């Protein structure tokens, strides 16, 4: 079958199309014929080797972290799915590879595709929807009336997080360009900061939560908009010791990760707030919890551009060069 993989870590030239063996289907696996796959900045970071210290993949590695498709075979112990079911998933971090014609996914990481969504729309959701859920619901426990700042509200993660935060009853502020201001307002943002002409750090204060997808100076300045007891969650780092414990890495690597976030954690502590790094986990159950919100129209996918599967390299380049104006980029099978 055709797939897009890397033989070694590096830049765009290291990713190529090739033929690979058919997936092996374990006892609790579901073989999915992929109809569409989302493209994420994570795919680029994995290609470049940014996470190789704590995600030691065996190369060659097929990339891709989102899928929607149809079940074509199930393992003997599978109880949740049957041949013909339409599904979507963010496969477990050790079993990625959605830039391919088929993939074997553990049944616990799959969920039925929301009936109202096309395959393309469904493929845009799993990674960003799970990230938003795990940040806002699982970790921050956002409650009605709380104030939440979501950076890059028109982006793949931001567009879903704004909708979820609003559905949870929060007051939502976001950063965006003037060109996407109307979109994020439609998605539920109560306050929009034009990141090109306005300074969110001087305009906002008293927030319970910041969800950061930009990192660096943006994260450092975000700590200042939090009220005492507030929390900043970043999906781009720096990683912290809690994340290292989740991965089960050795003490040396755990210490190294803790050192990477020392400055951020110290700054947060001085302000009476907390910092947390989030690397989302696959969960079919959490995708099921999101389904009622999707069916009710409270969360809708935003798709920027759809590329043919054969043009996956161009789709990744499109994301890497920041050409997407709003939402996700998806590759779709003919």
CATH superfamily of 127-277: NAD(P)-binding Rossmann-like Domain (3.40.50.720)
Q: pLDDT, tens digit, for every residue of 90-102?
A: 999 999 999 999 9
Distance separating alpha carbons of residues 330 and 316, to the nearest angstrom:
9
Instruction: Give the DSSP H or E segment for 12.
Output: none
Q: What are phi and psi of 87, to 5 degrees?
A: -135, 165
Locate 260 and state its tokens.
């990477």
User: Could you state, in order of their start, the residue ranges of all structural domains in the chain?
Assistant: 2-124+301-332, 127-277
Q: What is the pLDDT of residue 255?
A: 83
Q: What is the pLDDT of residue 253?
A: 77
- CA distances in angstroms from 61 to 58, 109, 313, listed in the order given: 7, 20, 15
What is this structure's pTM?
A: 0.96
Average pLDDT over residues 111-119: 97
- CA distances in angstroms from 146 to 140, 201, 204, listed in the order given: 11, 18, 14
Q: pLDDT, tens digit, for every residue of 242-281?
A: 887 787 777 777 788 788 889 999 999 999 999 999 999 9
CATH superfamily of 2-124+301-332: Medium-chain alcohol dehydrogenases, catalytic domain (3.90.180.10)
Burial class (CB within 10 angstroms; exposed 0-12, middle 13-18, buried 19+) of 58: exposed
Q: What is the pLDDT of residue 251?
A: 79
Under a CB-based contact definition with an 8 Å cutoff, are residues 281 and 294 in contact? no
Confidence check: pLDDT of 171 > 90? yes
Query: CB within 8 A of 112, min separation 6: which ones?
Result: 85, 86, 87, 288, 291
């Amino acid at each position: 079958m055709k797939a897009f993989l890397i033989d070694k870590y590096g830049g765009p030239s290291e990713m190529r199309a090739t033929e690979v063996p058919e997936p092996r289907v374990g006892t609790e696996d579901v073989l999915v014929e992929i109809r569409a796959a989302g493209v994420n900045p994570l795919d680029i970071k994995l290609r470049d080797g940014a996470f190789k210290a704590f995600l030691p993949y065996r190369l060659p590695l097929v990339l891709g972290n989102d899928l929607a498709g149809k079940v074509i075979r199930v393992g003997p112990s599978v109880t949740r799915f049957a041949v013909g079911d339409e599904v979507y998933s963010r496969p477990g971090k050790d079993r990625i590879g959605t830039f391919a014609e088929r993939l074997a996914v553990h049944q616990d990481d799959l969920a039925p595709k929301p009936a109202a969504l096309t395959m393309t729309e469904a493929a845009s959701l799993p990674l960003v929807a799970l990230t938003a859920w795990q940040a806002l619901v699982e970790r921050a426990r956002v409650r009605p009336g709380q104030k939440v700042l979501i950076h890059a509200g028109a982006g793949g993660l931001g567009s879903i997080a704004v909708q979820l935060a609003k559905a949870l009853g929060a007051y939502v502020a976001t950063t965006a360009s003037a060109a996407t201001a109307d979109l994020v307002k439609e998605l539920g943002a109560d306050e929009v900061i034009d990141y090109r002409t306005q300074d969110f750090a001087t305009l906002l204060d008293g927030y319970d939560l910041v969800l950061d997808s930009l990192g660096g100076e943006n994260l450092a300045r975000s700590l200042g908009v939090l009220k005492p007891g507030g929390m900043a969650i970043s999906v781009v780092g720096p990683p912290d010791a809690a994340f290292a414990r989740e991965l089960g890495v050795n003490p040396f690597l755990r210490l190294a990760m803790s050192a990477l976030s020392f400055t951020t954690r110290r700054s947060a502590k001085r302000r009476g707030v907390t910092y947390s790094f989030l690397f989302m986990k696959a969960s079919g159950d959490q995708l099921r919890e999101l389904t009622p919100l999707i069916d009710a129209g409270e969360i809708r996918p935003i798709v920027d551009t759809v590329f043919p599967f054969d043009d996956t390299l161009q789709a990744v380049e499109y994301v890497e060069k920041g050409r997407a104006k709003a939402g996700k980029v998806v590759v779709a099978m003919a």
